[in-house]
Amino acid sequence: MARKLGSLHLRAMKLEVFYCDEMVAHPSSFSPSAGKPAQVVDAWRTHGLPIEVVRPSSVGVQDLHRAHDPLYVDDVLALRRANGFGDRSAGVASSLAWTSGAMLSAARRARATRSVAVAPCSGFHHAGWDRGAGFCTFNGLMVAALALRELDGAASVGILDCDMHEGDGTDDIRRRLGESGQIRHFTAGATYHRPDQAASFLARLPAIVASMSDCDVLLYQAGADPHVQDPLGGWLTDDELRRRDEIVFESARRFGLPVAWNLAGGYQRDSNGTIAPVLAIHVATARACVEAYGLR
């Protein structure tokens, strides 16, 4: 049975953002995701959003081993194997325990407060059991979900992946570990790709959230790359992206479903070469969250 709205306690009046500088890396890559956390937090501050930055805990090697082949984990961290960006950057390697740690910290906080928290990081859902791909090295969604299940006693965890691309790495790990029932997963990129699908997606989204309403926590990937002008995306307008986020946050709050969300993809650049268009999308998502939960 879904939890009632009355069980949701908004203890924090600000949106708790689990961020630290150690999450940031700067590989030579088309993707800005490794360097994006600091820029996103700055953008949220610049736009006057009511946020409180909280230092996350990093995950340990054992947490990464729980979600990935230990040999793969150890090789990446020792720079013997390429990361999801295709290089062997020491900066990327050192950031990985912190990005997954931010996701887990946000999920634990959302669960403890029966509310919402955010980890401003990306680079998770293409990472499978023993491989990285698509700018993703370790799957922080599964690292968090498995820690919640095995260490924190969560009966079930929902993953709502609204990135442009399919969360194939997430499904790979779920299958290999036999967690497909306890870790529920919906990845929009498996089905939705075209502008003419936007209306049907938005109409279906409340039911998707409802299907996870009895989970202990929902991990929500609020990807920026479905935007119609993204070079790797192209099917949702600004208004449709905003409506996507409103539906997720408003539905989760109504069900009393704790939510920890993160950024996922986004690859647009403006005429000056900056990621200002991507930052604007992440600002809009944070604003939708703040408004849905009445934070100030």
Rounded to a whole number of angstroms, the CA Rg of the chain reads 17
CA dihedral 172, 178, 181, 184 (to 10 degrees): -30
The answer to whether 102 and 121 are in contact (CB under 8 A) is yes
Which pair of tokens denotes residue 273?
Answer: 């070469």
At residue 146, what is the residue type?
L
Exposure b/e, 232-261, CB count within 10 A at least 16 = b: bbebbeeebbbbbbbbbbbbbbbbbbbbbb
Band of the pLDDT at 4, cuts 50, 70, 90?
very low
CATH of domain 12-293: 3.40.800.20
Cα–Cα dist 278/293, whole Å = 23
SS3 (DSSP) at 245: helix
When pLDDT is cut at 50, 70 and 90, the band that residue 1 belongs to is very low
Over residues 147-173, mean pLDDT? 98
**pLDDT more than 90, % of the chain:** 94
For the cut 50, the answer to whether the pLDDT of residue 35 exceeds it is yes
Q: Dig out the tokens for 291 from the structure.
A: 């408004």
d(CA 135, CA 85): 5
pLDDT tens figures, 100-122 = 999 999 999 999 999 999 999 99
205 phi-psi bin (left φ>0, alpha ψ -120 to 50, beta other): alpha
pLDDT of residue 8: 45
| Overall pTM > 0.85 | yes
What does the alpha-carbon distance between residue 159 and residue 154 come to, in Å, rounded to a whole number?
14
DSSP H stretches of helix in 229-275:
238-255
Cα–Cα dist 250/135, whole Å = 30
